[in-house]
Structure 1
Amino acid sequence: MTERTHEIWLPFGKMVRAARLEQGLTHRGLAERIQSSHGLISKIENAKRATSKETVLLLDTALKFDGKLVRRWESVIRTQSSPDWFQRAKEYEEQAREMKFFHPLAVPGFFQTPEYSQLVITASSPGITGEQLASITEARRAWRQRLRVGQGLVLNVVIPESAFIAARHEPEVMRGQIDRLLDEAEARSTTIQVLPATSRDLTWTCGAFRLLYLRDTDTLLCAEHALGEEFSDAEEQVSNMEAAFSRLQAWALPPDASRDKMTDYRGSL
């Protein structure tokens, strides 16, 4: 029986194959380096089989990826299974008393409607499959549903005005997204601020991030990147991003003015 190709693993397999050929290795030669079978190497390269993290760590070392292959593997695992993708975040967030969000290009995923989420994901990942898209969209919906404010969780978010402008070509989607934000802003424990388009360059914020203030007084930084998310409790990193968020709040419109801004923009669509 012919084994089926797992489309989601094709880019990963191509990475392994390209690195193996670049180093002049055969399937058997690479297999010997990681003490495995050449048949397994072939199946990994052709996306016939997913592999374990232990094997990925060996491949990463043997092919001198410096961790890049491991990060790609973790990214596929997160995309393939949304519960895995959000599991670590879930554990931390259930301990949080306050969360702060910022994304320089879009409404943060926590506050996205399913329609807006699909729009953002397809724009940033053109090759994504329908199954992957549905999985990520549902995971984001469930993420917010799971952390409904009602147990003292405080939410603060700064959203660049450019995030609204970027989606103006989809007015129905954007109207629904703004309605969602206006509803969220009604909660006393939620503060939403709009950062005017005339504000300073945001590149120094290092991209999308959120801060989690845990009930045991620890603070965690979650930094988003192309291959997923990374959590850190390093004091200097956390302190830098707390300072960044404070600046963003200072530059942003006050909550009432932000609601007016969103309402006005919705009316212009």
Structure 2
Amino acid sequence: MPGSRDLDPSSSPRALLGAELRHAREKAGLSQEELGQRLFVSGSFIGQLEAGTRRMQREYARLLDEVLGTEDFFQRNCAAAAKSKYPEHFAEAAEAEVQATEIREYAPLLIPGLLQTPAYARAVCRAYQPTAPEEKIEEFVAARIERARLLSDPTEPLLWAVLDEAALRRVAGGPEVMAEALRHIADLGRRGRTIVQVLPFDAGPHAAMEGSIKLMDFEDAPPLVYFEGVGTGRLEDDPAVIKHQRFTYQLLTASALSPKNSLAVIEAMAEDYAHEEHH
């Protein structure tokens, strides 16, 4: 069952909704598993709603009001809890990151959002939205950099990133921007704030060639994995899926360079970009 730290009503509308759900469920004398059965979901899914690692969808809000006798409370408050500064397909994953104690991510095409600098994020967001007004781009950049504040805590969450060499070779914003971006990653690694590994081209075929992986673990809630495509994404909590993706990630780390050698490669590439900009 989620711990009390996940149920701070002052933190967000979603946390308040989770706290109210737990209160209503216990008042009805139902366990998470029993309530889940009535909604045709798992008990762990109910726990994630209460902990705030899952967003409450409108269809579940309606069923909860019916089962728990809360009139239209959850339906009325569902919309407020769903408001987010992030794109719809990514919002739930971004909100789960805040609750995570460990995040393991494989990035095949670009530097992960939690490791991006403002200049790099700006170049990427502009590529996503080539016709968007400048103020809209700055909103995207601000939201992305705000996510990275998770790393201002000296210990949590653990962030372990495997970066494909392609993500480091694809120039976003020019050599100067890339030099800054790679130095930022190397600095986080040197300070022990993150574990970073580079998956080089000469590693050949590998277990995650079909896409990215983001695994998230929580203190008192089941783990989640996030899959992302172009303009789409989804969270999965199926134990079999989690087990398979965890094994895939282990294979990736075995194929990648060691953290020590990875930092050396990243720093060398940063110098190459800086030299390119200078000339």
Question: What is the TM-score normalised by the length of structure 1?
Answer: 0.64
1:139 — aligned with what?
A: 143
User: Which runs of 5 or more residues in structure 1 are unaligned?
Assistant: 1-52, 55-76
Aligned with 2:109: secondary structure? coil
Matched, 1:105 2:118: no
- The alpha-carbon deviation at position 89 of structure 1 amounts to 3.3
Aligned-partner residue type, residue 225 of structure 1: G
Cα distance, 1:82 vs. partner? 3.4
- Give CA-to-partner distance per residue, 1:211-246, whole Å, 9 cap, x none: 101111521001112124311101222222212211
Question: Residue 152 of structure 1 aligns to which amino acid in structure 2?
Answer: E
Pairs aligned (count): 194
Indicate the residue corresponding to 1:160 in structure 2.
Answer: 164
SS in 2 for 1:152: coil
The verdict on how the C-alpha distance between 1:212 and 1:235 changes in structure 2, with shifts beyond 3 A counting, is same
3-state SS of the aligned residue for 1:82? Answer: coil
Q: Which amino acid aligns with 1:198?
A: D
Is the counterpart of residue 184 in structure 1 residue 188 in structure 2?
yes
SS in 1 for 2:111: coil
Q: Structure 1 residues 153 and 81, CA, compared in 2 at 3 Å: closer, same or farther?
A: closer
Which of 130, 134, 138 is the aligned partner of 2:134?
130
Aligned twin of 1:195: 199
Matched, 1:88 2:92: yes
Q: Secondary structure at the match of 1:120?
A: helix
In the other structure, the counterpart of 1:224 is: 228
SS in 2 for 1:167: coil
Contact 1:205 1:244 in 2 (8 A): no
Q: How does 1:54-93 map to 2 (within 5 A)?
A: 81-82=85-86, 88-93=92-97
TM-score, scaled relative to structure 2: 0.61
Of residues 81-90 and 188-197 in structure 1, the stretch that sits farther from structure 2 once superposed is 81-90
Q: 1:204 to 1:181 in 2, by over 3 A?
A: closer
Q: 5+ residue gaps in structure 2?
A: 1-57, 60-81, 274-279
Query: What displacement does 1:128 show?
Result: 3.5
SS of the residue 1:94 aligns to: helix
1:253 has 2:246 as partner: no
Letter in 2 for 1:267: E
Instruction: From the superposition, tell whether residues 149 and 205 of structure 1 become closer, same or farther in structure 2 (CA, over 3 Å).
Output: farther
Q: How far does residue 185 in structure 1 lie from its aligned partner after superposition?
A: 0.5
Deviations 1:101-132 (A, max 9, x none): 11211111111111111222333443443233
The list of structure 1 runs, each at least 4 consecutive aligned residues, that deviate by more than 6 angstroms after superposition, is 83-86
Give 2:217's aligned residue. 213
SS in 2 for 1:198: helix
Q: Could you tell me which amino acid in structure 2 is paired with residue 261 of structure 1?
A: V
The share of aligned pairs that are identical, in percent, is 26
For 1:198 and 1:245, locate their aligned partners in 2 and report how far apart those are by CA, in whole Å: 18
CA distance in 2, matches of 1:85, 1:143: 16
Measure the CA separation in 2 of the matches of 1:125 and 1:266: 27
Cα RMSD of the aligned pairs, angstroms, is: 2.8
Question: Is the 1:92–1:214 contact (alpha carbons within 8 Å) kept by the matching residues of 2?
Answer: no
CA distance in structure 1 between the partners assigned to 2:230 and 2:190 by the alignment: 32
Rg (Cα) greater in structure: 1
Cα distance change on mapping 1:261 and 1:170 into 2, 3 Å: same
Query: d(CA) in 2 for partners of 1:152 and 1:123?
Result: 31
Match of 2:268 among 253, 264, 268: 264
